[in-house]
């Protein structure tokens, strides 16, 4: 990946607008994985205020004694007003619908009863994370297994209703967890920041 941020100065340079903020591979069974924005004073990449969007790639598996489990998330450590909509899944379970929940939902993954080499994959895209808008999340998942395979998409809109005024703030914390079980060892999470392009394309007149 081309360098876009000078690690010594934090100055933007030309290159790929996708920046790998962190890559985490679990060393043990874990109930929740948390990502938190930094201030940029020591690790410029981890200051989310510079990004337009965030992308989270997850290759994960649950220890639940079943063929599957369900991936959940919260922003800012708040369980309020996640409007899940336009879900559409294919495979063993075919479903579509919309509902309101205390957390966001982004896909179905492989459970502990599946074959040992079968894993789930989820791509979660969070748009316009530093705006005053309600936050929109688009997720795609693949439950790659022989017995109960599936794939699908989730859409979600979030606004903090804890103060009764539907206030909206920049995203600085993401918590990822499962509905039933825990993430098994070697589950992997890659958090990517998408920078706004700041270099003029002089080839277009």
Q: Give CA–CA dist 104/62, Å, rounded.
A: 18
Amino acid 1: pLDDT:
44
5 CB neighbour count, 10 Å cutoff: 19
Amino acid 26: pLDDT:
97
SS3 category, 166: coil
Q: Tell me the mean pLDDT per 10 residues along the chain, length 205.
A: 61 71 96 90 83 95 90 87 69 66 86 86 93 88 76 83 67 94 96 77 47
State if pTM tops 0.75.
yes
Quick one: 169 exposed, middle or buried, by C-beta within 10 A (0-12, 13-18, 19+)?
A: middle
Contacts of residue 202, defined as CB under 8 A and 6 or more positions apart, other chains included, come to: none
């Amino acid at each position: 990946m081309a360098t876009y941020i000078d690690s010594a100065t934090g100055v933007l340079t030309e290159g790929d607008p996708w920046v790998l903020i962190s890559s985490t591979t679990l060393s043990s069974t874990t109930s929740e994985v948390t990502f938190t924005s930094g201030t940029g004073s020591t690790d410029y990449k981890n200051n989310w205020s510079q990004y337009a969007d965030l992308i989270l790639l997850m290759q994960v598996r649950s220890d639940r004694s079943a063929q599957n489990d369900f991936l959940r998330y919260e922003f800012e450590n708040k369980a309020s007003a996640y409007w899940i909509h336009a879900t559409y899944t294919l495979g063993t379970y075919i479903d579509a619908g919309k509902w309101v929940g205390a957390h966001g939902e982004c896909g179905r993954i492989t459970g502990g009863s599946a074959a040992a080499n079968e894993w789930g994959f989820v791509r979660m895209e969070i748009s316009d994370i530093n705006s005053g808008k309600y936050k929109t999340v688009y997720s795609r998942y693949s439950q790659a297994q022989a017995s109960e395979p599936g794939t699908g998409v989730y859409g979600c809109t979030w606004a903090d209703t804890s103060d009764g005024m539907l206030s909206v703030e920049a995203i600085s914390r993401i918590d990822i967890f499962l509905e039933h079980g825990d993430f098994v060892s070697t589950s992997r999470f890659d958090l990517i920041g998408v920078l706004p392009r700041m270099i003029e394309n002089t080839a277009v007149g």
